[in-house]
Amino acid sequence: MDIIKHPRTALKSLFSPKKVPEGGDKGSNMSNVGVRLHIQDRYVTMDNGMVQVTLSNPGGIVTGIRYNRIDNLLEVLNKETNRGYWDLVWSAPGSKGIFDVIYGTSFRVVVENEDQVELSFTRMWDPSLEGKSVPLNIDKRFILLRGSSGFYSYAIYEHLKDWPDFDIGETRITFKLRKDKFRYMAIADNRKRCMPLPDDRCQGRCQILAYAEAVLLVNPTNPEHKGEVDDKYQYSSENKDIKVHGWISNSPPVGFWQITPSDEFRSGGPLKQSLTSHVGPTTLAMFLSSHYAGQDLDPKFRGGEPWKKVFGPIFIYLNSASDGDDPLWLWEDAKIQMMNEVQKWPYSFPASEDFQKSDQRGNVVGRLLVLDRYTSKDYVPANGAYVGLAAPGDVGSWQRECKDYQFWTRADEGGYFSINNIRTGDYNLYAWVPGFIGDYRYDVSITISSGSYVEMGDLVYEPPRDGPTLWEIGIPDRSAAEFYVPDPNPEYINKLFVNHPDRFRQYGLWGRYAELYPDTDLVYTVGVSDYSKDWFFAQVPRKKDDNTHQGTTWQIKFILNGVDRRSTYKLRVALASATLAELQVRINDPNAKRPLFTSGLIGRDNSIARHGIHGLYWLYNVNVPGAQLVEGENTIFLTQPRSTSPFQGLMYDYIRLEGPPSFNVKDEL
């Protein structure tokens, strides 16, 4: 591995300046107005002629955003403290979480000139408040630039050495928009719609379903929403896809967009799922959360561990169109602006020394190959592999890493990858390859220094493999999406997801299992069954007539023509999710008191209830003694016995049975 210095080259924007007017009338010269700062006793206002942002002084709560004929885009019916704010959930070890809207206690101007204003609102930890206040110094920053149709925000969290132990359950930025203006929400090209009002979730207009976040709209303001389910978790996305989302007002045509140009400050890697926007109208920038993962993704600080991290900057982008224009063009423009922001990352303008600029960072390049000796004797390019740098740890530890920074990319068809703009520090290089089970880790840690360029050369991943494949079920891609996702109960639908590729986002799908298998459990016959039709996407408990639940046992039937009873076979079971569940494996004897394998109680993903098709990834490699197999028909029994809740269960990613290393597949099947 060679480390050499290299010159940096600036990336040119792929897009021309926006054609959508950024406030005021077409042809106005407002973008040439310098940035102005107005400081009062209780408020501070940044104004660049296009956007006015008002914050409380010294709290740093966004109380107002003025733009394009709208005096305040934020909900004026809410208290000023409930409009635009940073918040977190924290706890002392073993205690319940405390929700904390972060109010600054000190205000200062960091930068003030005609091109930029940057404001700082800090809250320093007071030891006299131990147990009552999160032991963090927090510095919230807000930036307005000349000619910018929006503003930026970031924060620096710091826990000093020997300060008290604590956990963080969640931290984010929240904006609550005017419900009389913002009715249309867009998260992706195929996930956008006119949304219900927050009033529709109030008593008398809705029925609360299996949990408070999910409601059935029985008397909504808009009759078109009657009979639909609203649940904020239906609009979750993976980190890699949460680049831009937000809302559109029709009158006047104005868009409010939250743009996240980098994933480096988010926890859990590119597949971690987080909330985006939802009924409110609310838009979120999630930095840390336990959603779809459980407490594994809660940073826990023990033994006086020091810690500092920069979250953001994120960009709040505002755009507008002329009356009579199609407001949906605002979404198209927001996507272009998002790509502009990604190209500009890392930003050059944040004033904090804790945010590293481009020339302070480094790069890593290389190629990843796969060697799976039982499928090919050749090295295969790791096409589409996810390759990333994260804190040093065990193989696969990146998906539970939640304190430091992560940097990810996708390899091209040849397996070549380039990870750019990496913060200085020590990392391991991790990867996983769609189509192959398991995780890769480069065993030697990598040190990134300012301006460094690390050439990794050719790396080889040898996925877990002991023998030839006898049979397999599913696709090893860390998702259960390829399995059978049923139609929802017609009484509990979200119209957005009817005939949608994300069928799993409909409410109540867990209850469809008992309807499909009212008396006996799923049986899958290798060579006959089709996993896209015959393998239910989640192994959930069966609901009984008395409204209790019982565990389930699925069967995989397969035929072996020959068995080496002295050798060991290998069963690979990759799970896409687990929620307070247990996987038990038995071979040819469903009543065996002791299973051949048990995972024990695992997982707090809650992906079944929250309409996610995966949570955290688990891989189990089970040794199957040849003596337990027979010539002819064999059956593997997969039992999930936990059943105190309808949401306890497993999602499978991929299952494979391998023969002994020296066996010929044709002899066995």
DSSP string, 403-444: SS--EEEE--TTSEEEEEEEPSEEEEEEEE-TTS-S-EEEEE
Q: Which of 366, 261, 245 is nearest to 11 (CA)?
A: 261
> Over the stretch 279-328, which tens digit does the pLDDT of each residue have?
999 999 999 999 999 999 999 999 999 999 999 999 999 999 998 889 99
Report yes or no: 144 and 48 within 8 Å, Cβ to Cβ. yes
Lowest-pLDDT range of 153-157, 174-178, 358-362, 543-547: 543-547
Residue 18: what pLDDT? 39
Model confidence at 547, pLDDT cuts 50, 70, 90, reads: confident
Please state the rounded mean pLDDT for residues 220-241.
97
Q: Is 29 exposed, middle or buried (0-12, 13-18, 19+ CB in 10 A)?
A: exposed
Q: What is the spatial distance between Cα 460 and Cα 280, in angstroms, rounded to a whole number?
A: 48
Report yes or no: 324 and 23 within 8 Å, Cβ to Cβ. no
321 φ/ψ angles, rounded to the nearest 5 degrees: -130, 170
Report yes or no: 53 and 73 within 8 Å, Cβ to Cβ. no
Q: Give the C-alpha distances (Å, rounded to integers) separating 40 from 80, 107, 144, 474, 542.
A: 16, 12, 18, 62, 62
Residue 388: what pLDDT? 98
Q: Is the pLDDT of residue 16 over 90?
A: no
Long-range CB contacts (within 8 A, 24+) of 345-351: 345/261, 345/262, 345/421, 346/262, 346/421, 347/152, 347/261, 347/313, 349/116, 349/118, 349/143, 349/145, 350/118, 350/141, 350/143, 350/152, 350/154, 350/313, 351/110, 351/111, 351/118, 351/141
Amino acid in position 436: F
> Over the stretch 191-223, which tens digit does the pLDDT of each residue have?
999 999 999 999 999 999 999 999 999 999 999
Please state the rounded mean pLDDT for residues 467-480.
98
Global pTM value: 0.93
Half-sphere exposure of 252 (CA within 13 A, CB side): 20
Q: What is the spatial distance between Cα 262 and Cα 388, in angstroms, rounded to a whole number?
A: 13
How many CB atoms neighbour CB 32 within 10 A? Answer: 10
| Burial profile 536-550: b = 16 or more Cβ within 10 angstroms, e = fewer | bbbbbbbbeeeeebe
- Sheet holding 229-231: strands in order across? 206-208, 214-217, 229-231
Q: Is the pLDDT of residue 27 over 50?
A: no
Report yes or no: 243 and 340 within 8 Å, Cβ to Cβ. no
Report yes or no: 269 and 390 within 8 Å, Cβ to Cβ. yes
Q: Give the C-alpha distances (Å, rounded to integers) separating 420 from 1, 232, 278, 310, 367.
A: 17, 34, 33, 18, 15
Residue 108: what pLDDT? 98
Three-state DSSP at 514 gives helix
377 φ/ψ angles, rounded to the nearest 5 degrees: -80, -10
Three-state DSSP at 294 gives helix
Residue 436: what pLDDT? 98
Residue 159, token pair as written in the block: 């826990």
Q: Is the pLDDT of residue 6 over 90?
A: no
Q: Is the pLDDT of residue 7 over 70?
A: no
Amino acid in position 346: P
Determine how β-strand 166-176 pairs with β-strand 84-91: antiparallel
The proportion of the chain whose per-residue pLDDT surpasses 90, expressed as a percent, equals 91
Which residues are 152's β-sheet partners? Answer: 143, 315
Q: What is the spatial distance between Cα 84 and Cα 64, in angstroms, rounded to a whole number?
A: 8
Lowest-pLDDT range of 182-186, 303-307, 545-549: 545-549
Please state the rounded mean pLDDT for residues 493-506.
96
- Name the one residue in this structure whose structure tokens are 């989302």: 245
503 φ/ψ angles, rounded to the nearest 5 degrees: -60, -25
Sequence-ordered list of residues with C-beta below 8 angstroms from that of 176, at least 6 positions apart, any chain: 74, 75, 78, 82, 83, 84, 280, 281, 282
Please state the rounded mean pLDDT for residues 167-179.
98
Q: What is the spatial distance between Cα 542 and Cα 550, in angstroms, rounded to a whole number?
A: 5
**Considering the chain, what is the average pLDDT of its residues?**
93
Residue 272: what pLDDT? 97
Please state the rounded mean pLDDT for residues 430-446.
97
Model confidence at 662, pLDDT cuts 50, 70, 90, reads: confident
Residue 24: what pLDDT? 36
Determine how β-strand 552-560 pairs with β-strand 523-525: parallel
> Over the stretch 598-627, which tens digit does the pLDDT of each residue have?
999 999 999 999 999 999 999 999 999 999
Residue 323: what pLDDT? 85
Q: What is the CA radius of gyration of the chain?
A: 27
Report yes or no: 168 and 286 within 8 Å, Cβ to Cβ. no
Q: Is 93 exposed, middle or buried (0-12, 13-18, 19+ CB in 10 A)?
A: exposed
Report yes or no: 467 and 570 within 8 Å, Cβ to Cβ. yes
Q: What is the spatial distance between Cα 498 and Cα 227, in angstroms, rounded to a whole number?
A: 14
Cis preceding-peptide flag for 381 (omega within 30 of 0): no
Cis preceding-peptide flag for 58 (omega within 30 of 0): yes
Q: Is the pLDDT of residue 12 over 80?
A: no
Sequence-ordered list of residues with C-beta below 8 angstroms from that of 189, at least 6 positions apart, any chain: none
Q: What is the spatial distance between Cα 466 and Cα 138, in angstroms, rounded to a whole number?
A: 51
Q: What is the spatial distance between Cα 423 and Cα 406, in angstroms, rounded to a whole number?
A: 9
Residue 69: what pLDDT? 86
Long-range CB contacts (within 8 A, 24+) of 322-328: 322/21, 322/26, 322/253, 323/252, 323/253, 325/253, 327/184, 327/248, 327/249, 327/250, 327/253, 327/255, 328/192, 328/248
Q: Give the C-alpha distances (Å, rounded to integers) separating 573 from 71, 478, 657.
A: 57, 11, 9
